[in-house]
């Protein structure tokens, strides 16, 4: 079975999508439509901006989404049998399998980015990458810290990201190193994504998601929250709302897709981050760059 996977924030680079814009009429039309929907010229920033401009959450999230979705729409023989996306990438996956329209998904992604940026400004918060510790040890250390710090991204075995209040994350990093972590490194992010610190953003996004039409998809999406195949629009909605404050179970999602018959994984969007993670989760998995 063919699985298609879509990257999240962090995969962006200046110049992304420019080749599509210049060579595909469908791509040009969708990029132009995106500028109208967003109310600012995102293509100018994507194609010719600076790294700093592209790094702003309100730009990054729609930019990665646009590159992924528009690339998918230009692929020949695009017939996914299962899809998944890492964090933000779940929105791209939901357009790819027909749950959301391009326009509705872009508006939700834009609202999500703004809501997350706002939530980040309330309390100093951050994320950190932890290497070479097992999941249980990371979870136990987080639970022992006074303050908010949780496991946020299960990226691949031995690579987790923790998220929470800055002081709690810093203290957790010290304890992770004492417990034998090869690295516990604070990440250059705007705030504590996929943690309870995102509750204000979750509430804001919930209203927008509830008001949006979700249709029955052509194939299941393996959602970050459950790491299982979901095809029911109401359930997809519920999981998408929960996603902001819950961990991204990427390792578990990929393992489940393989158990359910995935024979190849095609990464659609900027970069090759997910291909690398999938190969670490299962060294025999076939990964393809779209």
The per-residue pLDDT for range 251-260, each reduced to its tens digit, is: 999 999 999 9
Q: Cα(92)–Cα(110) distance, rounded to whole angstroms?
A: 13
What mean pLDDT value characterizes the chain?
Answer: 96
Q: What does the pLDDT read at residue 57?
A: 80
Mean pLDDT to the nearest integer, 7-35: 96
Write out pLDDT tens, residues 221-248. 999 999 999 999 999 999 999 999 999 9
For residue 168, what are its two tokens? 């709690």
231 is catalytic: no
Task: Tell which CATH classification among 3.30.70.100, 3.40.366.10, 3.30.2010.10, 3.20.20.210 matches the domain 2-121+196-289.
Answer: 3.40.366.10
pLDDT exceeding 90 applies to what percent of the chain? 93
* Confidence at residue 81, expressed as pLDDT on a 0 to 100 scale: 97
87 is catalytic: yes
Residue 63, classed as helix, strand or coil, is helix
The model carries a pTM of 0.96
> Which segments of the chain belong to CATH 3.30.70.250?
125-187
From 87, 110, 195, 253, the catalytic residue: 87
Tens of pLDDT, residues 127-171: 999 999 999 999 999 999 999 999 999 999 999 999 999 999 999
Which of 100, 95, 39 has the alpha carbon at shortest distance from 66?
95
Instruction: Give buried/exposed letters for 204-239 (b at 16+ CB in 10 A, else e).
Output: bbbebbeebebeebebbbbbbbbbbbbeebeebbbb
- Residue range(s) occupied by CATH 3.40.366.10 in the chain: 2-121+196-289
What is the fold, at CATH topology level, of the domain defined by 125-187?
Alpha-Beta Plaits (3.30.70)
Q: What does the pLDDT read at residue 10?
A: 86
């Amino acid at each position: 079975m063919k699985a298609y996977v879509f990257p999240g924030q962090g995969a962006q680079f200046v110049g992304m999508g420019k080749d599509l814009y210049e060579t595909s009429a469908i791509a040009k039309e969708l990029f132009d439509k995106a500028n109208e929907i967003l109310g600012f010229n995102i293509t100018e920033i994507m194609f010719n901006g600076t790294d700093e401009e592209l790094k702003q959450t309100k730009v990054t999230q729609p930019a990665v989404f646009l590159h992924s979705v528009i690339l998918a729409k230009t692929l020949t023989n695009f017939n996914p049998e299962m899809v998944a996306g890492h964090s933000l990438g779940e929105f791209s996956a939901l357009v790819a399998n027909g749950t959301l329209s391009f326009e509705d998904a872009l508006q939700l992604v834009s609202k999500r980015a703004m809501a997350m940026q706002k939530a980040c400004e309330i309390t100093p918060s951050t994320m950190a990458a932890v290497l070479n510790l097992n999941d249980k040890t990371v979870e136990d250390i987080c639970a022992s810290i006074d303050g908010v710090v949780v496991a946020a991204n299960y990226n691949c075995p031995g690579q987790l990201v923790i998220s929470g209040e800055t002081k709690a994350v810093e203290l957790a990093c010290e304890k992770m190193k004492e417990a034998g972590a090869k690295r516990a490194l604070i990440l250059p992010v705007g705030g504590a994504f996929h943690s309870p610190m995102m509750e204000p953003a979750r509430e804001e996004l919930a209203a927008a998601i509830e008001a949006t039409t979700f249709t029955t998809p052509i194939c299941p999406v393996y959602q970050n929250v459950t790491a299982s195949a979901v095809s029911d629009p109401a359930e997809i909605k519920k999981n998408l709302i929960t996603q902001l404050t819950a961990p991204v179970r990427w390792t578990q999602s990929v393992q489940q897709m393989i158990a359910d018959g995935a024979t190849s994984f095609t990464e659609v969007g900027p970069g090759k981050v997910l291909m690398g993670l999938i190969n670490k989760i299962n060294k025999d998995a076939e990964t393809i760059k779209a």
